[in-house]
Amino acid sequence: MRFVLLFVVLLTCCATYSEKISASYKDISKGEMSAALGEINNALNVKDSKQLPSQTDENTNLLLLERATILQGLGEYELSARDFVLADQNLGWFDPRKMSSIELADYTYSANSTEYRAPASERLLINVQNMINFLVLNELSAAKVEARRFSILTEYFRKQDEAFLPDILALGNYLAGVTFEKSAEFRDAARMYGRAWHFGYREKELNNRLVDLYRITGSITDNTNPNPSGLDTIQTLAKRLPPLSIQEYLAKYKDDVLVIVQTGRVAEKREKKVSLEKQDEKKLGRELGQDFNSINIPTMAKGYSGAQVILHLGHRSTNLSYKSRLGLELERAFTAIQPAIYSAAMSRALSRHLVGESADRVGGKNKISSLIGLSLKGALNSKDRPDTRSWSTSPATISFVRQTYADDTYRFATLSTSQGYESKVISGDFPVVNFSKFR
């Protein structure tokens, strides 16, 4: 019986993953990236960011994602890319539609006891973020690996999640287009840019670029229907114009620069106690006892939308042309599975009640066994803590602008926010600049 009582105490006193690293989230929201990095390194039990953990556990992959995001914001792109690659190689997928109610309940209430698995939006974002890393570093071979991985994942997820993930699909395909364009692989660039257009990025800049790419490559056959998005109109226009040589294309766009700005922070998951609402659920609660009028479920807290930003290219103020609202997409996707989570929580409450009843039967009819049974029911139901882990250092929005930058006198980009000020030199052919420190 002493073992059972000890088990009850342990159940009710363990801090969750989110609670352990919550200070890092606050640091990011205040623009204190270096402090946030220290918190994550402590959680990984390493002295600095060059080190990898000597021992791994169920949270290691998620902590590597958190650290990679912060390192990117601090301009440590090589280390960031390393952590993203390691996490991507070992990270599992979370697909609630392929899980039974019991499996979903077990995972939802696993807290820190099982390997973290990422939902579709996070899986796709890993490849997006690493494309950004490798594009900034101008390591095009590595960027193409991320682009192809993103393309493969897109085909898997789009059949099920396209309604929830248009922004990240548009963003990722656009960056894949940039990757192949910089690599002079224009057919693949046209295909990826076409997908970005299909999923919602339809600015004049991309319209003109697609026309010119189609003039080089001809119409690209893809598995997206060109009619609803207007790609067919772009292809028709390209056919009416004379062919364009690669040299002419390169000369036309030689002074392009792509500036990426990441702001805000996605919403954290938090546990919330909710009352049983439906009549049959209230009846079940009465049958389970007065301690079971409510259940604990994971919910999304309000995200941090981010600081106001002012971007300058040289001394010229520049508006961002596209904003990918990743935080909203994550919230929509999570809301869609809430009914399944609620149902799983009800099943969990019932199973926990049966465990307590078993303790009563094993201990016999006396006050001590009744206390143990009651304690187990309370610990396993009222104190049952849902898994609130998520990649919460990732940005709420990723925006970008692509412009011709012909002024050789002022080749720098500057981002001003309420948190701080950052300036970066623009150099090389078709440079890519990333701002994600002050969010």
Domain tally, the chain: 1
| pLDDT of 77 above 80 | yes
SS3 416: strand
Give the single-character DSSP code of 218.
-
pLDDT at res. 112: 60
pLDDT at res. 297: 86
Q: How far apart are the first and last CA of the chain?
A: 52
Highest mean pLDDT among 158-162, 301-305, 412-416: 412-416
Q: Which residue has the higher pLDDT, 254 or 357?
A: 254
Dist CA 121 CA 153 (whole Å): 10
Average predicted confidence (pLDDT) for the chain: 84
pLDDT at res. 132: 98
Q: Which residue has the higher pLDDT, 278 or 139?
A: 139
Q: Could you give the count of Cα atoms lying within 13 Å of 426 in the half-sphere of its Cβ?
A: 28
Instruction: Summarize pLDDT for 190-210 with one digit per residue, the tens.
Output: 999 999 999 999 999 999 999
Whose tokens are 């935080």? That residue is 327
| pLDDT of 283 above 70 | no
| pLDDT of 5 above 50 | no
In which band, very low, low, confident or very high, does the pLDDT at 9 lie, cut at 50, 70 and 90?
A: very low
Environment class of 281 (CB within 10 Å of its CB; exposed 0-12, middle 13-18, buried 19+) = middle
H or E segment to which residue 369 belongs = helix 367-377
> Among 23-27, 134-138, 395-399, whose mean pLDDT is lowest?
23-27
CA 202 to chain centroid, in Å, comes to 23
pLDDT at res. 240: 94
Residue 420: CB atoms within 10 Å: 13
Instruction: Summarize pLDDT for 197-255 with one digit per residue, the tens.
Output: 999 999 999 999 999 999 999 877 676 666 678 898 999 999 999 999 999 999 999 88
| pLDDT of 364 above 80 | no
Which residue range(s) make up the domain with 224?
Answer: 2-435
In which band, very low, low, confident or very high, does the pLDDT at 335 lie, cut at 50, 70 and 90?
A: confident
H helix intervals, 162-299 = 166-182, 186-198, 204-217, 226-229, 231-240, 246-252, 279-288
In which band, very low, low, confident or very high, does the pLDDT at 161 lie, cut at 50, 70 and 90?
A: low
> Among 5-14, 105-114, 396-405, whose mean pLDDT is lowest?
5-14
pLDDT at res. 371: 47
Give the domain CATH number at 332: 1.25.40.10
In which band, very low, low, confident or very high, does the pLDDT at 4 lie, cut at 50, 70 and 90?
A: very low
**Which positions ≥6 away from 148 have C-beta within 8 Å?**
none
Q: What percentage of the chain has pLDDT greater than the value 90?
A: 51
Residue 225: CB atoms within 10 Å: 10
411 with 314: CB under 8 angstroms? yes
